[in-house]
Chain A
Amino acid sequence: MSETITEEYSVTGGDFSRAGYASSQIKKILKRMDVDKAIIKRTVVAAYEGEVNIVAHAWSGKIEFQMDEEQIRIILDDEGPGIEDIEKAMQEGYSTATSAIREMGFGAGMGLPNMKKNADHMHIESEPGKGTKVEIRMERMVRE
């Protein structure tokens, strides 16, 4: 018996008033399914940062959520400017966010590092001028 849950959320670039909506829906599912609390906390941080990156840096995107007994997978797939140098983007403090976005307290360059820290696996693919796809995976087996 293995139940798989899948959901999909669309995200609009530049719409900060809805930033975090998909992540809060994902959190609700994780709570309802009684996922380990520490795993929920880490998943929420990673999902939110990924969602905000679509809002802040891309034009539009979708977030796919998949969960079975073993894993949680979140795929953040956007159409946008893409990332020229992924290694550089992963560095703490590196950000191309506009000053308007920084004034809101976003754009600290901590989003991708936060995702890396909190996810069990993270993979980024990007095509400059087209878009970015970030996949994060969490193992549901409680860490020793």
Chain B
Amino acid sequence: MTAAEMVNKLDLQVFSGEKGLDREISGGYMSDLLSDVMGNADEGQVWITLQTHKNVMAIASLKELAAVILVNGHKPDDDTAAQSNEEDIPLLGTSMSAFDITGKLYELIYK
């Protein structure tokens, strides 16, 4: 599944990084602790978080994540969106909670 297909199926908002929507998704990781993501997430995964600051994109880029989903209707800071465009890593949003969107994405990927 590509990030674009995920956006359609989960009805996600696209804030930035549209050029990266063709990225292939290998799984997901849900955490708001940056060192946890740094240490445990892997390439190609979708990161689900409520953190909206620019360091999120620095980590997404260093880890080569496929996309980031902001939960609970959170909006990215301006410089976060700008960096997502530079890195071509989609920055997405949902009004759902981390629990709900994780469950839905899990079902999409593994069922």
Contact = CB atoms under 8 A, between A and B. Distances in A.
Contacts of A45: 38-39
B62 A27 contact: yes
B35 A117 contact: no
Contact of B55 (A19, A27, A118): A19
Contact of B33 (A19, A48, A108): A108
A117 B39 contact: yes
Interface of A is mostly: helix
A20 B62 contact: yes
Contacts of A91: none
A92 to B, nearest CB: 10
Given A16-B55, A17-B54, A17-B79, A110 B62 contact: no
Interface string A19-38: 11101100100000000000
Contact of B35 (A19, A20, A24, A49): A49
B32 A110 contact: no
A108 B36 contact: yes
Given A17-B54, A17-B79, A108 B35 contact: yes
- How many chain A residues sit at the interface, stated as a range, is 20 to 34
A106 interface: yes
A14 B63 CA distance: 23
A3 B39 CA distance: 31
A104 B35 contact: no
B34 interface: yes
A43 to B, nearest CB: 10
A114 B39 contact: yes
Interface in B30-60: 32-36, 38-39, 43, 49, 51, 53-55, 58-59
B38 A49 contact: yes
Interface of A: 16-17, 19-21, 23-24, 27, 41, 44-45, 48-49, 52, 104-106, 108-111, 114, 117-118
Q: What 8 A-B pairs are tightest by C-beta distance, nearest first?
A: A20-B58, A110-B35, A108-B33, A105-B34, A114-B39, A108-B35, A105-B51, A105-B32
